[in-house]
Amino acid sequence: MENKTRNNSTRKLVNISNPTIHISYKPQTYTPKQAALAMMDKKHIMILTGEDFTADSGLPSLRSYNRHKVCVNGEYLDVEKVMKMQYFTDYTEICWRFLQEYITIHEKCHPNKAHHKFENYDRKISELNPFTSQVYEIHGNIKYMHCTNEDKDCCMNFIRTPSSTEFESEDKRLVQKCKYCDSLMRPHLLFLDEKYNQKYYKAKNAYEFMRDKMDCLILVGCTDLKGFPK
């Protein structure tokens, strides 16, 4: 059965590099055939994926994770409390233990149908990978971490986060230190009490593409954008 056009009332996208600026748009729902026809003459397509994009792979969203809470060292933790930079600063080891559990779940997941649908893009666009001009990971990437020392150039050295097996090995400390300045390493993630920024998450690039070039926006695994973290 074909989908009907959604309510055409004007919606707003929040400018992630400047939350005081909004972009108005009128959303519509298309059938796959209608969507394909609508995109045929588009040159600058933005595909915005959310946490539900990976839900069918078994990776829990923040909302579902928070309903069940997480047990670390016998204590049940509120995810929305743990996933804040202030908590990471005060309880670094506990936060890393939570992330270690999440990484373990991530390693057991497999691509779902939505991932396979995008495989053709991966093959055609060589730069469709993290830290390239074609992909802006505005919430970060749990597979990487970087130094917390903002005054040093090493804070921009993104290195792979240890796997669950490496975390459990005796020669790998749970709390990682920067090999250049010995400061704490942090996950390359936008914590809930942090703001989007250009330095780590290319927020300005994403917004300028949306404002100046984008002629088609595809939302996958996320709802209409009504707001962002601070």
List CB contacts of 12: < 8 A, sequence separation 6 or more: 22, 23, 24, 25, 226
Largest CA distance in the chain: 60
pTM: 0.77
**Confidence band for 21, pLDDT divided at 50, 70 and 90:** low
Mean pLDDT of 196-202: 92
**Single-letter amino acid, residue 73:** N
pLDDT for residue 78 is more than 90: no
Over the stretch 105-121, which tens digit does the pLDDT of each residue have? Answer: 888 888 777 777 776 65
DSSP the chain: -PPPPPP---EEEE-TT-TT-EEEE------HHHHHHHHTT-SSEEEEE-GGGGGGGT---HHHHHHH-EEETTEEE-HHHHSSHHHHHHSHHHHHHHHHHHHHHHHH----HHHHHTHHHHHH-TT-STTBTTB--TTEEEEEEEES-TTSGGGG--EEPPPHHHHHSTTS-SS-B-TTT-PBEEEEE--TTS---HHHH-HHHHHHHHHHT-SEEEEESS--------
Q: Is the Cβ–Cβ distance between 145 and 158 less than 8 Å? A: yes
**Confidence band for 186, pLDDT divided at 50, 70 and 90:** very high
Mean pLDDT of 171-182: 84
How does the average pLDDT of the chain come out, rounded? 77
Domains recognised in the chain with CATH numbers: 42-220 (3.30.1600.10)
Mean pLDDT of 208-213: 90
Q: Using only the alpha carbons of the chain, give its radius of gyration.
A: 19
Over the stretch 26-70, which tens digit does the pLDDT of each residue have? Answer: 667 778 888 889 888 999 988 888 777 777 777 776 666 655 566
List CB contacts of 72: < 8 A, sequence separation 6 or more: 94, 97, 98, 101
pLDDT for residue 182 is more than 50: yes
Point out the least confidently predicted range of 79-88, 161-170, 208-217.
161-170
Whole-angstrom Cα distance, residue 123 to residue 157? 27
Which of the two residues, 99 and 112, has the higher pLDDT score? Answer: 99
**Confidence band for 7, pLDDT divided at 50, 70 and 90:** very low
pLDDT for residue 175 is more than 60: yes
DSSP 2-41: PPPPPP---EEEE-TT-TT-EEEE------HHHHHHHHTT
Mean pLDDT of 12-35: 64
Residue 9 — left, alpha, or beta (φ > 0 → left; ψ -120 to 50 → alpha)?
beta
